[in-house]
Amino acid sequence: MKLLEERIRKDGVVKEGNVLKVDSFLNHQLDISLYNEMGKEFKRLFADRKINKILTIEASGIGIACVAAQYFDVPVVFAKKSQSINIDGTVYSTMITSFTHKRDYQVIVSKKFIGPEDHVLIIDDFLANGCALKGLIELVEDAGASVEGIGIAVEKGFQEGGRIIRDMGMNLHSLAIVESMDASTGEIVFREQ
């Protein structure tokens, strides 16, 4: 998606450690007109799929998922990060390793909000090593629901997540795929799609 690529080139900041900061428009301050265009693009990309629910993960995925949901006319469920070690039978849970915070945390979704009748589109802001997505896919599968597609705003194509998730046979679309980025020059190269 050219609009997103141009914005990343203009306002994205490449940090050491393979981190791309996009906090002025995507995940701290949010540009809602850009979000709207992203939502429309997700709708176009997944138009052939029967989707009745969008699943994301707190916090950065929620805004993108909510704006996109208006184009699908479906509810959004977000996986919550949980401190509790006493997980009861009312939730599905999985462990996720955070790429940016370098720690493990548990995420949960109530069994009330996802079940075998659901056809789920998973949406998140970034795809790096794929850990967050693997966790979300596991939650959907534990619920007996189906993953109809996965929509990502920014995939870092030089990390392994995209390959892992596509090798699982998932219908994954990323709006922008960063092929390479250089913290010393700030240069960002996108994959042609």
How far apart (Å, rounded) are the C-alpha atoms in residues 24 and 121? 26
The answer to whether residue 5 forms part of the interface with ligand 5GP (CB under 6 A) is: no
Query: Helix, strand, or coil here: 136?
Result: helix
Strands (E), 31-75: 53-57
User: In the window 32-51, what residues touch ligand 5GP (CB under 6 A)?
Assistant: none
Number of residues that bind ligand 5GP (CB under 6 A): 19
Q: Judged by CB under 6 A, which stretch of 47-55, 69-77, 105-113, 127-135 contacts ligand 5GP?
A: 127-135
The answer to whether residue 12 forms part of the interface with ligand 5GP (CB under 6 A) is: no
Give bridge partners of residue 120 from the DSSP assignment. Answer: 53, 147
The answer to whether residue 56 forms part of the interface with ligand 5GP (CB under 6 A) is: no
Q: State which of residues 84, 100, 110, 180 lies at the interface with ligand 5GP (CB under 6 A).
A: 100
Smallest gap from residue 24 Cβ to ligand 5GP (A): 11
The answer to whether residue 124 forms part of the interface with ligand 5GP (CB under 6 A) is: yes
Secondary-structure breakdown of the chain: helix, strand, coil percentages, each rounded to the nearest 5: 30, 35, 35
Q: How far apart are the first and last CA of the chain?
A: 9
Task: Determine the length of the chain.
Answer: 193
**Site residues (vs ligand 5GP, CB under 6 A):** 19-22, 27, 60, 99-100, 124-132, 156, 161
